[in-house]
Amino acid sequence: MLNNEKGILGIVIAILVVVVIILVGGGLYLKSREQLHSVMPTNNLAPLVSQDQSQQPNYEAIMRSLGCNSQSSCMQICQQPENASKCQSVFQQFGGSNGNINPNTETDFAIAGNNGNTTTASLPSCPSSNGLFDHLPTDSNAYTSVEPLGHMNGQHVLPDQADHVYINLVKDSSGKFFQLTNVYAPGNITLIQVAKKSDYIGNSNVIDYLLEFSPCKSVIFTYDHIQNLNSKIISALAGQTPICQKGGVHTDCTYQDLSIKLSSGEKIGTAGGPTTFTDAFDFGAADVRTKPLAFIDTSPTYETGVTASSYLHAVCPLDYFKDSLKSALYSKLTIKNVGANGIPQCGTTMQDKAGTLQGNWYHQGSSQNYQGLNIQGSLAFAHSNLDPTVGVLSSGSDLLPSTDLGAQILFTPTNSGYINREPSQIIPDGHVYCFDGPIAQGGTGEEGHVDLQLIDTSTLKIAYGSGACLTTPTLTNPLTYSR
């Protein structure tokens, strides 16, 4: 009997020991998870930036110790609770107020551009001032104007797809084409990636190039729609094997990990001319020293715009010229009512406002894809980059009828009622709202409207109908968008 009692007592003690281990282990796990979430954004990885090296740990060494070298790989590793303490310093964000550059910050491990280019790590550190460039991107008499960031037109549905300004070209003497224009290196730069793009337009195979370059490790710049590359670039590409992707009539061949040095003012190639279909070339920039743009939803897996996974750090490229050239470029910006609805002179790629209708939304269940982007399932309620007093309903073809993957309705925002209401004033209040106008800029031109209801801060019900809004909007057979 005594032996049986001892046996039972031993079993009870063993069970208690196991329970204690589980409770202690669980507590440590939860504490680790809390530490992880306290330093890690819930929607994306913060830029891997540091302050002065004498004061801050070596983030490159930390990343190596974790076994990661990119945002996605670090995110996966840092989701493991045992790495929380190491990840804390990696995820620590540094930057000036209101997104301005902190002059004491610098990347230890450059992640600009496509976040994987080995060349960027060997570039010099960026100076604290922004005056990196001393040469205009093209001749002063070759362009008429500069369109700000955040262009929404046709298949450019979201403002962050246009993370670049447009250098609008002069028409030639015939008035039929846009003048063949030289494009120059704006400063002493290193060309780190070239994408050769081929499209069949009618019966013609039109080829142009997207170039990524940088003067220093924390910033990336892009030129797009460039042709007739100079002989130095062509010779360097001849010895490289590109990675090619083809979809329909479109082919991209990307030359990565380049290190082609170009001097300030050196001709890179041309834009415009009778053999092209473009009236402008794109000029984009990203600076990982800036605080991430406050997008509500960064979960969509596709990358927007030309600066790819650095879209959270899109900036105005004009700000990186020396003062006299910056002033000349700013004087060409085609924007009215600067500052209305918080839109600066050079535009913005981010117009999300938490708790309201304004900003980017994504159609749930949409699987359509065009060149890596789910344009058809995207939606934005925003303000025009040309006149921010004008409202823009910008949608892919999941919602609005379109001949170009997407279309826009322009409207004049009102401050009362339920029709064409200012998007930043619409909250989850149980009401149905309506927006109407001609479906233009990639649309059919017909009069159309959308009825919608903001169910909560992350769920939107919306439906399209022909004609103008009803006096009392109603919602029938809506699609669901979220963020």
Listed residues 71, 94, 117: the one ending a domain: 94
Rg (CA), the chain: 26
* 198 and 330 part of one domain: yes
The region of weakest confidence among 79-83, 151-155, 417-421, 467-471 is 79-83
Domain's final residue, options 53, 78, 94: 94
* DSSP states along 62-122: HHHHHT--SHHHHHHHHTSGGGHHHHHHHH-----GGGPPPTT-B-SS---TTS--GGGGG
**Would you say residue 124 lies in a domain?**
no
118 lies in a domain?
A: no
- Which domain, by its residues, includes 418? 359-482
- Is residue 292 domain-shared with residue 150, that is, in the same domain? yes
Distance, C-alpha 26 to centroid of its chain: 39
Largest CA distance in the chain: 112
CA dist., res. 54 & res. 323, Å (int): 32
Within a domain: 262: yes
The Cα–Cα gap between 381 and 157 comes to: 10
Same domain for 229 and 333?
yes
Residue 261 has pLDDT above 70, yes or no: yes
Q: Are 303 and 402 within one domain? A: no
CATH number of the domain to which 293 belongs = 2.70.70.10
Q: Clarify whether residues 161 and 295 are in a common domain.
A: yes
Q: 277-303 pLDDT, tens per residue?
A: 789 999 999 998 888 899 998 765 444
In the predicted structure, residue 388 carries a pLDDT above the cut 90: yes
Based on the fold, state whether residues 186 and 296 are members of the same structural domain. yes
Overall average pLDDT of the 413-423 stretch: 98
Contact call for residues 108 and 90 (beta carbons, < 8 A): no
Residue 123 forms part of a structural domain: no
193 and 333 housed in the same domain: yes
Mean residue pLDDT of the chain comes to: 78
Residues 171 and 305 in one domain: yes
Quote the pLDDT of residue 99. 29
Number of domains in the chain: 3
Cα separation, 102 vs 92, whole angstroms: 14
Q: Are residues 273 and 422 in the same domain?
A: no
Domain boundary among 69, 94, 119: 94
pLDDT at 256 over 80: yes
Mean pLDDT of 369-392: 88
Lowest-confidence range among 110-114, 264-268, 455-459, 467-471?
A: 110-114
- pLDDT tens digit string along 299-330? 654 444 444 457 788 999 999 999 999 999 99
Q: Do 320 and 373 fall into the same domain?
A: no
Residue 257 lies in a domain: yes
Cβ neighbours for 457, distance < 8 A, ≥ 6 positions apart: 354, 355, 428
160 lies in the same domain as 248: yes
pLDDT of res. 278: 84
The reply to whether 398 falls in a domain is yes
Residue 353 domain-assigned (yes or no): no
The pair of structure tokens assigned to 316 is 């105005």
- Tokens 């955040």: give the residue: 150
Span 211-239, pLDDT tens digits = 999 999 889 999 999 999 999 999 999 98
Mean of the pLDDT values across residues 22-32? Answer: 36
Q: Are residues 160 and 80 in the same domain?
A: no
Is residue 201 domain-resident? yes
pLDDT at 277: 72
What does the alpha-carbon distance between residue 224 and residue 276 come to, in Å, rounded to a whole number? 13
Gap between the terminal Cα atoms of the chain: 67
Cβ atoms of 371 and 350 within 8 Å: the answer is no
